[in-house]
Amino acid sequence: MHVYPFDRRSGARYDKVEEVTASVTLPSESVPPVPVMFPRAGLGHYVSMGARCPIAGDWRLSVTARVSDFDEYEKAFKVPIR
């Protein structure tokens, strides 16, 4: 999976993120949140090579971007796996 943070105002790629982390869960199968790490792959680009969703269903991916010691932003997505 690839994550590209963007500045909401300008639409430019945002490169001041200190850390990107995430978790995936499959609520319909009672799969608890599994952490996913996103190391920096380049300017404003983060990649996770080891994320696995081995069961079909509508997984929930929650991504957190930490921009300082006190500020972070989280966004959740539905990821259908068939």
Q: What is the mean pLDDT of the chain?
A: 92
Count Cβ neighbours within 10 Å for each residue of 5-28 and write b for 16 or more, e otherwise.
Answer: beeeeeeeebeebeebbbbbbbee
pTM: 0.83
**pLDDT attached to residue 35:** 93
